[in-house]
Structure 1
Amino acid sequence: MSTRTPHVVVVMGVAGTGKTTIGPLVADALGVPYAEGDDFHPPANIAKMSAGTPLDDDDRWPWLDAIGAWAHRRAGLGGVVSSSALKRAYRDRLRAAAPDVVFLHLTGDRELIESRMAERKGHFMPTALLDSQFATLQPLGADEAGVAVDVAGTPEEIAERAVTALRGLDT
């Protein structure tokens, strides 16, 4: 039996990589709760994105602070939360609130991600903002605790690769 402290995992990546699909599967496999990062957005952010306007840093800080507060409360207990966390500065902000978070960066081919975005129904993030997401993305640095997992395949395959990679952080 493992005595390690469960991680708080931030599932990150551009829109359409499957954070909302993969996050709960990973949380389930790890036996920890999942929190949907989009639920932390204030209504003004959702309205802005729904209108096709990318968020700026001033829009994102309160959202990241709310996610960081959740992660801080889960320290030592574990959890999985989604957040695009596209810039290093955003991840630094999350780490400032919860120093032991680890990141699961969902990566993939732009065409695959765009096709998945086009198929989803009822989401406020339009495919028109995908280019701005890729332009903003700063992949995990070598000094950042986390793993990158490709999103090709079924959700179950992706989640299995993610859990295996996350468990590898403990060795």
Structure 2
Amino acid sequence: MTGESRPGTPAATRHVVVMGVSGAGKTTVAQGISARTGLAFAEADEFHSPANVAQMRAGVPLDDAARLPWLRDLAAWMAARSAEGVSTVLACSALKRSYRDVLRQGPPSVEFVHLDGPAEVIRDRMARRAGHYMPASLLESQLATLEQPHPDESVLVLDVSLTPDELVSAAVDGLGLRTGLPTGG
């Protein structure tokens, strides 16, 4: 965690959401940030309800009504970690501004790293991964849903064409994260 704390008050925490469409490398980059900094990692996909997973597995995109409880759970998870003095990094699509706004309602502040780039690069990555419930057929719907971050959102945008290690380094450096941070707890 970062910042100083007074006795009896939690220390200032950092909360990073690595965002982008499925196949952009969110989980790999978020896990890399966690390994380098000590931020507690969570995979947003693990917070989906069984009904949401079944719908996506069937190739049906989620609508906003299905996403809202999931987003609220993610914001609550970050807020709970913040209250414990634990900094976090979350791999989450966060495709729309309204989704990012819900996530921002959790801890005192949330920073975003957007993994963005050519659809061909992402499509190729999706074709090579095994065992994920999100079929490559949903990439087009995710690209159509994606709302590029607005300038007032202060989102760090990184090119998915970089290697995973380069992306992790760029995220850690770009956010000014210290390496080897304790996660608290």
TM value normalised by structure 2: 0.85
Provide the residue aligned with 2:31 in structure 1.
24
Shift in Å, 1:27 = 1.4
Q: Which runs of 5+ in 1 are unaligned?
A: none
Mapped pair 1:111 → 2:120: yes
Q: Residue 98 of structure 1: SS of its match in structure 2?
A: coil
Give the alignment of 1:74-153 within 5 angstroms.
Answer: 74-75=81-82, 76-153=85-162
Q: Distance in 1 between matches of 2:16 and 2:129?
A: 24
Give the alignment of 1:21-100 within 5 angstroms.
Answer: 21-75=28-82, 76-100=85-109
Percent of aligned pairs with the same residue?
48
Q: Distance in 2 between matches of 1:164 and 1:6?
A: 17
Q: Distance in 2 between matches of 1:162 and 1:6?
A: 17
Q: Distance in 2 between matches of 1:39 and 1:145?
A: 27
Q: Distance in 2 between matches of 1:79 and 1:96?
A: 15
Shift in Å, 1:97 = 2.4
RMSD value over aligned CA atoms?
1.5
Cα deviations by residue, 1:119-141 (Å, 9 ceiling, x for unpaired) = 00000001111011011111111
Q: Distance in 1 between matches of 2:24 and 2:108?
A: 25
Mapped pair 1:154 → 2:163: yes
Shift in Å, 1:48 = 0.3
Q: Distance in 1 between matches of 2:87 and 2:155?
A: 15
Task: Name the aligned partner's letter for residue 140 of structure 2.
Answer: D
Bigger drift between 72-81 and 40-49 goes to 72-81
Q: Residue 84 of structure 1: SS of its match in structure 2?
A: coil
Task: Name the aligned partner's letter for residue 36 of structure 1.
Answer: E
Shift in Å, 1:87 = 0.3
Q: Distance in 2 between matches of 1:164 and 1:20?
A: 18
Cα deviations by residue, 1:33-61 (Å, 9 ceiling, x for unpaired) = 10011000000000000000000001101
TM value normalised by structure 1: 0.92
Q: Distance in 1 between matches of 2:20 and 2:107?
A: 19
Q: Pick from 18, 21, 27 the counterpart of residue 11 of structure 1.
A: 18
Q: Residue 113 of structure 1: SS of its match in structure 2?
A: helix
Task: Name the aligned partner's letter for residue 66 of structure 2.
Answer: D
Shift in Å, 1:74 = 2.2
